Amino acid sequence: MERRIQEVLDYCPDMHFVNENDIYIEISGRLNIYRSIEQYVLNKSYKISLFIPKSEEKLPYVVDGGSVDKDYPHIYTNGQLCLATDIDMVLAFEENSSLVNWIQHFVEPYYVTYEYYKRYGEYPEGDRAHGEDGIVQSYMDIFSVDGRHAMRILDEIVYEIYRGHHLCPCESGKTIRNCHGKTILQFKTHPRIMEQAMKDYTVILERWVEAYAR
């Protein structure tokens, strides 16, 4: 953990350790971002606080220090940035556990997207949905299918024992092993990813039941 924090401090020379409790380590200061998106170039520093969990069960998060307008859709009222869905970050951490990698893939692009949105009035890569719609969208991207089939694959992951010779829940007509097998196994063999999938599936189903009951 010490090494992971030191790596962040090395990468962000204008940030420093602030505080810690049993769950999080807080690092604050300025994050300097020099990045471009399409024709737009951003070279600016942002006052932020990073909250790094001590356990890998939790995800790090960022609280903005007043740079992002409060009416921007992707910021919570407490100033926490809506960076991405949890499953997107869990998958990214499974691939690369470095916090610097996380900053480069989620935090820096967040600010570039924000500035781009402010300047051009639209998102560079299309808007991301919120709440459970955003979660479904993540799984659609992960599995490269539509929403209905993403839910079928998620259902397979959460409830079924892996059987490669069965037909794939995406309804391609192929067997699981010749279709989404690799992705399904990735979920089933990584407890942290599996746990997030179960949580997301429950959230989505609950909202659907609520919507149906109305």
Q: Which stretch binds Zn ion (CB under 5 A): 2-10, 81-89, 116-124, 164-172?
A: 164-172
| 149 touches Zn ion (CB under 5 A) | no
CB under 5 A: which stretch of 12-20, 35-43, 56-64, 178-186 binds Zn ion?
A: 178-186
Between 45 and 172, whose beta carbon lies closer to Zn ion?
A: 172
Is 137 a binder of Zn ion (CB under 5 A)? no
Q: How far apart are CB 153 and Zn ion at their closest, in Å?
A: 7
CA dist., res. 94 & res. 186, Å (int): 10
For residue 96, the minimal CB distance to Zn ion (Å) is: 26
Q: Show Cβ contacts of residue 182 under 8 Å, excluding neighbours closer than 6 positions.
A: none
Q: Rounded CA gap, 32 and 44, in Å?
A: 6
- Residue 180 touching Zn ion (CB under 5 A): yes
Q: Does 157 bind Zn ion (CB under 5 A)?
A: no
Binding-site size for Zn ion (CB under 5 A) equals 5
Nearer to Zn ion, 144 or 189 (CB): 144
Site stretch for Zn ion (CB under 5 A), options 5-13, 77-85, 125-133, 175-183? 175-183
User: Among the candidate windows 72-80, 105-113, 132-140, 169-177, which touches Zn ion by CB under 5 A?
Assistant: 169-177
| Residue choice 91, 107, 170, 193 for contact with Zn ion (CB under 5 A) | 170
DSSP-assigned letters across all residues of the chain: -HHHHHHHHHH-TTEEEEEE-SSEEEEEEEEEEEEEETTEEEEEEEEEEEEEESSTTS--EEEE-S-S-TTSTTB-TTSBB--S-HHHHHHHHHH---HHHHIIIIIHHHHHHHHHHHHHSS-TT-PPP-HHHHHHHHHHHHHTS-HHHHHHHHHHHHHS---TTSBPTT-SSSBGGGTTHHHHHHHHH-HHHHHHHHHHHHHHHHHHHHHHH-
- Verify binding: residue 179, Zn ion, rule CB under 5 A: yes
Q: Which residues pair with 53 in a beta bridge?
A: 24
The answer to whether 168 contacts Zn ion (rule: CB under 5 A) is yes
Closest distance of CB 159 from Zn ion, Å? 16
Residue with tokens 């970050």: 89
Q: Which range of residues in 72-80, 90-98, 104-112, 160-168 is near Zn ion by CB under 5 A?
A: 160-168
Which residues sit at the interface with Zn ion, rule CB under 5 A?
168, 170, 172, 179-180
